[in-house]
């Protein structure tokens, strides 16, 4: 009887110890302790690069040295400096720990495959000026429960991430892309360490939304990223995204340098070593506060510093790189929401202001053609046309071009998200920008209706399939009932995701074809609008 009681006690004790034991991983970075949460093992705030302070500000990231002691990955690190409420909500005021860190969500059970679990590396959006990988919206638990390791991360934003300087260009061979270099460093960290977390470094999908999709598409065009990921998901964004990034290098880089110079002038410094040293002595949040996305469409003005098309980290012409096939071979899933432009468009815009804005943003020949595409008439108000214009210029034109050119060599799948969430922005914005995110991650609100849950199941399932196999129709064991065809220039079709899932012709094809011809096939005499200074 004593033996039986002791056996029961030992069994109960072993269960308790297993339930409370912290998951430990020993990798090239060192020993990392996480925690378990509802069938998922979580590791938070792992630094992949040294803290970007002192000489490491406005410079390429430095690989994080190995941990000397066990690292407790039980809390998020500070957010990157930025001008938003995220600073206080997510610990951005404390820089004793690096903001350049990543978070891992993995299944609690070991992988069945000897190769390990497929890996999703998620890049947050926020116009390159705000955001963090620690948002609850990006909790990767739903993916992990379906056999996918999720990695979310921070990268430098605003002035800290994209300050452009001719002095830096001479010193480092590049400038204005410190945030992109952070992401590249994080991808290298994944290649070196993820196998010890049970992940497959040869089955990595890089994904992002909005500016995160800009960055993911940048890695498709970056030779240094070749082999670091095999698939990409671009949700509402690519590098061809005006005005976040100029369509041509000269206009874009003039703005990047001019707005950097404006920032330097505020603190009375020059583009020199001593000037940059002074900027490095200034609080990072204060600098980022001066560089929010404050774009004035009508007058074509902003203090926003775009990424620099330097020909090193980013191609001088992303369009030409796509046209000539100078990109990494990865399968791509990409798409858009029905009403992408509503969040960026003012309902108060007047007819004359809309037309005037076209001319301040583009040379006359282009602006006049845009007036025809977005003609205001009895059926279309200035606001409706403004929404269409912003949707196309910011998101869908670049999406279509990437889909066309990448599909010449790689598998491409196009989606159209068309579901209005009752818990989202409200019906006045329609199926707005970022409205799909909660469905992708299956992080719905507790009071979500059954229809929302059904949509989330479908969207997440398609993403999981693509992450696992490169085919959204197949998870490695079974196929979906509706086959999502490849997108090609001869067959431009999309999977419409909403209350019902259907295959549809790409509805924006004709308008976007006209736009591509207007913007990227203009004559040589069309000079850029901005003529502030020369660019090396």
- At residue 419, φ and ψ (nearest 5 deg) are -135, 125
Distances (CA, A) of 471 to 219, 266, 322: 21, 51, 22
DSSP string of 143-155, one letter each residue: HHHTT-EEEEE--
What SS3 string covers 45-114?
Answer: EEECECCCCHHHCCCCCCECCCCCCCEECECCCCCCCCCCCHHHHCCCCCCCCCCCEEEEEEECCCCCCC
- At residue 74, φ and ψ (nearest 5 deg) are -115, 5
Exposed, middle or buried, 6 (CB in 10 Å: 0-12/13-18/19+)?
Answer: exposed
Which pairing describes strands 331-337 and 231-235: parallel, antiparallel, or unpaired?
parallel
CA angle 497, 500, 503 (to 5 degrees): 60
Q: Which residues of 304-313 are buried (b: 16+ CB within 10 A; e: fewer)?
A: bbbbbbbebb
Tokens coding 300: 């074509």
Q: How far apart are CA 375 and CA 54, in angstroms?
A: 52
Q: State the sign of the Cα–Cα–Cα–Cα dihedral 426, 391, 182, 196.
A: positive
- At residue 54, φ and ψ (nearest 5 deg) are 60, -130
Among 210, 217, 236, 241, which one carries the catalytic annotation?
210
Q: How far apart are CA 365 and CA 16, in angstroms?
A: 73
Give yes or no for a contact between 122 and 131, defined as CB atoms under 8 angstroms apart: no
Residue 303 designated active-site: no
Among 340, 388, 436, 452, which one carries the catalytic annotation?
340
Q: Which residues of 241-255 are buried (b: 16+ CB within 10 A; e: fewer)?
A: bbbbbbbbbbbbbbb
3-state secondary structure of 197: helix
Q: State the sign of the Cα–Cα–Cα–Cα dihedral 437, 440, 441, 446.
A: positive
Distances (CA, A) of 318 to 3, 131, 173, 398: 73, 25, 19, 10
Which pairing describes strands 40-47 and 30-33: parallel, antiparallel, or unpaired?
unpaired
Residue 340 designated active-site: yes
Identify the helix (H) or strand (E) that includes residue 284. helix 284-289
What is the longest distance spanned by two Cα atoms in the chain?
Answer: 96
Number of H helices and E strands in the chain, helices first, is 18, 14
The residues annotated with a catalytic role in the active site are: 210, 340
């Amino acid at each position: 009887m004593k033996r039986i009681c002791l056996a029961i006690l030992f069994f109960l004790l072993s269960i308790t110890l297993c339930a409370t034991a912290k998951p430990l991983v020993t990798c090239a970075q060192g020993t990392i302790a996480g925690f378990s949460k509802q069938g998922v093992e979580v590791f938070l705030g792992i630094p992949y690069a040294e803290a970007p302070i002192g000489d490491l500000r406005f410079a390429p990231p430095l690989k994080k040295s190995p941990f000397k002691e066990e690292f407790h990955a039980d809390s998020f690190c500070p957010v990157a400096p930025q001008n938003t409420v995220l600073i206080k909500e997510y610990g951005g005021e404390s820089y004793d720990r690096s903001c350049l860190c990543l978070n891992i969500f993995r299944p609690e059970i070991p992988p069945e495959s000897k190769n390990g679990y497929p890996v999703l590396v998620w890049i947050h959006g926020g116009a390159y000026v705000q955001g963090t990988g620690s948002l609850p919206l990006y909790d990767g638990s739903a993916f992990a429960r379906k056999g996918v390791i999720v990695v979310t991360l921070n990268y430098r934003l605003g002035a800290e991430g994209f300050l452009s300087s001719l002095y830096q260009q001479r010193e480092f061979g590049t400038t204005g892309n410190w945030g992109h270099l952070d992401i590249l460093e994080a991808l290298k960290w994944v290649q070196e360490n993820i196998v010890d977390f049970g992940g497959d470094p040869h089955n990595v999908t890089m994904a992002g939304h909005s500016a995160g999709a800009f960055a993911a598409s940048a890695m498709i065009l970056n030779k240094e990223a070749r082999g670091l990921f095999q698939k990409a998901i671009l949700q509402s964004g690519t590098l061809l995204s005006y005005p976040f990034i100029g369509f041509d290098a000269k206009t874009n880089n003039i703005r990047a340098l001019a707005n950097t110079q404006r920032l330097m002038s505020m603190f009375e410094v020059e583009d020199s070593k001593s000037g940059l040293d002074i900027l490095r002595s200034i609080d990072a949040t204060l600098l980022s506060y001066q560089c929010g996305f404050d774009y004035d469409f009508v007058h074509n003005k902003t203090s926003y510093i775009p990424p620099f098309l330097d020909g090193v980290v980013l191609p001088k012409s992303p369009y030409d790189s796509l046209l000539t096939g100078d990109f990494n071979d990865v399968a791509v899933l990409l798409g858009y929401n029905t009403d992408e432009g509503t969040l960026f468009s003012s309902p108060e815009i007047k007819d004359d202001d809309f037309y005037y804005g076209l001319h301040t943003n583009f040379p006359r020949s282009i602006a006049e053609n845009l007036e025809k595409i977005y003609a205001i008439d009895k059926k279309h108000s200035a606001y409706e046309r403004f929404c269409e214009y912003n949707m196309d210029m910011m998101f869908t034109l670049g999406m279509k071009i990437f889909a066309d050119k990448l599909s010449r060599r790689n598998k491409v799948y196009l989606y159209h998200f068309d579901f209005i969430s009752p818990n989202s922005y409200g019906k006045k914005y329609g199926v707005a920008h970022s409205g799909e995110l909660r469905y992708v991650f299956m992080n719905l609100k507790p009071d979500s209706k059954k229809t929302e849950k059904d949509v989330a199941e479908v969207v997440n399932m398609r993403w999981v399939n693509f992450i696992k196999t490169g085919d959204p129709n197949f998870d490695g064991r079974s196929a979906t009932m509706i086959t999502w065809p490849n997108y090609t220039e001869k067959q431009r079709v999309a999977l419409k995701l909403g209350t019902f899932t259907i295959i549809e012709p790409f509805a924006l094809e004709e308008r976007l074809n006209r736009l591509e011809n207007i913007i990227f096939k203009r004559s040589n005499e069309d000079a850029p609008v901005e003529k502030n200074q020369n660019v090396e």
